[in-house]
Chain A
Amino acid sequence: MPNRRDVENAQKNRLEIVKAGLSRRELFKMGLLTTAGYLIPKNGLSAWATNGCSPGQCQLGCSPPIAPFLDPLYVPPVLLARPLTDPGFTHPPRQCPNHGVNPANGRPFEGRGQFNGHVQKGKDCFQFYNRFPPQHFYIERLRANPNFRITSDTSIPDQTIWGFNQGGDDPAMFPGPTIVTHYQQPVLIRRFNELPTQPQNGGFGVPEVSTHLHNFHSGSESDGGPCRYFFRGQYFDYYHTMHQAGFDSDHQPNGDINESASTLWYHDHRVDHTAENAYKGLAGFYLIFNQFDTGDEGTGFHLPSFPDFDIPLFLTDKLIDPATGLLCFDTFGLDGLVGDVQLVNGKVQPFLEVQGRRYRFRVLDGGPSRFYELFLTDPNNPNQVIPFWVIANDGNLLPKPVQVTSFRLGASERYDIIIDFKHLGRKFGTTVLNLENRLLQTNGRAPTNTILPAGQGTTCVQFRIGADVLDGSVDPATGPAFYQLPSIDVPSRVTRTFEFVRQNGEWKINGKPADCTTPKTAIRFTCQRNTSERWIIRNNSHGWQHPIHIHLEEFRILTRNGAPPTHVEHSRKDVCRLQFGEEVELFFRFRDFRGDWPMHCHNTVHEDHAMMLLWGIQDVGDTNPNP
């Protein structure tokens, strides 16, 4: 057993290497890394072995190296709707939960209507179900897949992931199938929990799940919040009106077109275990089109056509155990997890062969903890500064495209970008462009303030540019207009302030940790339905950063550290990065639904260690300024 000094020395050595920003390639160069990926003895990089990362160690810098660009980008299939005659709908969908007891396991067939695992009779019926009856029905089954490949390098073993399947007897996948929907066409998604029993979790993951649809305007019964998890052997029906916010308040009957969302994702949200479950693969994309954002570049806003030129990119970083070659997760960590194996759509640093034209990419920081600053880099000429366009922040189209040379993402933030490969290929004489993360981050607390030199970061995807082709999509340089931002020029009923702090290793909001015991203990304050509020969120720390996510309705940033938001933050958002010492004022509307929803840090390790609260909406709200 190592003694304390060894432990500290090892930590210091490892930190020095990580701080120096050395990639595995550079460690190779320095002779510090062997072909098998083990760190060569250097005064004890690990306290648990005399020769570097020991078997079983799950830590930044210990994963075996995997060559980039071995695999083409994987694009998840679009989930197909199913008829109600499908065997999965033997129990037909219904407005109120099916509490009928399944004789096979003694529990209700449906998990909806449970709060923290306990049935709440008469609760969680779908709101507005009869007004907007579902038109499309889907099924997903949550399962383990023991044959998942993150790379075609055959010396890396098959991985066991937990994921969503396409509703039949097919294997689970990561990312899950992409759910493609249209506004004004309500949907119902039935999810079956068919995960393995707890001791078969491979070391992390719990088989009680709650599937959150991130940034949809859903009733709390269909939101997939932290306290509404369900068990193995149960199903859970999630119903979404597919109407924009305002449909039962200031924009009847169909909602405010300017509140249209486009790039959403679904992911596990089980209280205390969200990070490990989502990391294990329980996540996928959910896209919404409408009469303007049509998915067809010949119509509406003329955005690049889905799916050929409109591609989601799910960024997530992993750790691999150097002994087993298998994905690992530290269920004992409090800071957050940053990995050294970069996946995009489930593959290690893939490549994508693109044509010479414009593409829309929907870039998601799938967490659990890493922040990204993404650039386009020409690997043959890294000093060139290469511009592209942001068209949506958190999946919400901006008033018009904004040209950037990089953008920052915190966990769960999404930016839709347009890259014009034809234009860039000609202007910069390049045939290869890397989407490169140049933000240095060495632990789960926060990123550093260091932007690595071009070419020395981590390439997420490599674009290989082919021949020019006809392009029917709109050129962002012509300044097309999308949605207007909804007005913020309305009085607020109350201003509330929230401090996000760490005390004694406990993450808290206004001094209190998360709680799911009962709705009564869990819900901290109540907003009044169909009113507006201002929320001030504050991070006094200079050691931590928190991407704060609030469910149900998007907000607008009024001020960040006293200043009005500029370019891409002049937008609707559902995640607000709360960086070192920052204070941000947000504007909210709380419309249409009654119920309860969470606010939490989307560094899911912070979230699991209690940086979360629940708030409600009812016909009468409170005015607690520091709930």
Chain B
Amino acid sequence: MPRMTRRGWLAVAGSASAVAGSASGLLAAVHDPSNNPPRGFQQIPPRELIQRRHLPNVELITQVGTKVRFYDNLVKDKMVVINFMYAHCEGLCPTITANLVRVQKILHDRIGHDIFMYSITLKPEEDTPQVLKEYADMHGAGPGWLFLTGRPDDIELLRRSLGFTNSDPIEDADKSNHIGMLRIGNEPMLRWSACPAEAHTQWIVTSILAEADNPLKGG
């Protein structure tokens, strides 16, 4: 047995009874790395992998009551800015929303055309489409900026898939202290970043435009 594998195989051999069925096959596999059996890897387009990992196609409802699919209708082939909020949030949300209103004003010729803004509620039980519509109107949110609710399980899946989680479960459960990042994505370009929603408005705008336009500058 070559020295290179001895240590690893001593460990396995030491518990051979536990893996008796497969041990001989494993040994052969490690002995000759140029002759390992194929592992059945598939070729999956990277764009599809990102979709599988992060962009579930859950059904959501907009502030005007329209049913939409998250991936198919909101993200696919689009540039997006996504945040999580809830209507009666008194901590971070008003600051973030006010900042996003300024972003929308600066990018008025892009939002709703090739860049879309999505605010997803963290409290779908409370935030009905009507509640979200009032919230949107109160803040002066314009076209191209959707406020979204849905089934709680779907919202939770979306939140986790998009990375709006805190790895400390206690902190994660505290919705008043939720993740204040903006997820910025250019879906067809496989390009995703994040920007603090409390950053200077101009830096948020700059970050969005970098994700949207830099890939084209590099032609």
Contact = CB atoms under 8 A, between A and B. Distances in A.
A361 interface: no
Contacts of B54: 332
B62 to A, nearest CB: 20
A208 interface: yes
Interface stretch (B103-111, B114-122, B128-136, B174-182): B174-182
B36 A154 contact: yes
Nearest to A7: B160
Interface string B196-219: 111110110011001000110111
Interface string B6-42: 1110011011001100100110011001111111111
Nearest to A12: B169
B65 interface: no
A609 interface: yes
B203 A351 contact: no
B199 A4 contact: no
B214 A609 contact: no
Interface in A283-336: 321, 323-326, 328, 330-335
B4 A462 contact: yes
A116 B50 CA distance: 27
B52 interface: yes
A513 B199 contact: yes
A356 to B, nearest CB: 17
Contact of B43 (A198, A324, A505): A324
Contacts of B53: 56-58, 330, 332
A41 interface: no
Interface stretch (A30-38, A175-183, A365-373): A30-38
A481 interface: no
Interface in A528-550: 543
B124 to A, nearest CB: 12
A35 B58 CA distance: 34
A230 to B, nearest CB: 9
A29 interface: yes
A438 interface: no
B157 interface: yes
A243 to B, nearest CB: 35
Nearest to B23: A28
A504 B178 contact: yes
Contacts of A193: 218
B49 to A, nearest CB: 5
Contact of A464 (B3, B12, B14, B34): B3
A206 interface: yes
A236 to B, nearest CB: 14
Contact of B193 (A2, A56, A331, A506): A331
Interface string A35-48: 11100000000001
Given A25-B8, A116-B206, 17 more contacts: A29-B12, A30-B18, A35-B29, A37-B39, A56-B52, A70-B33, A116-B210, A153-B36, A193-B218, A198-B218, A206-B191, A206-B215, A324-B43, A332-B162, A503-B180, A505-B164, A505-B179
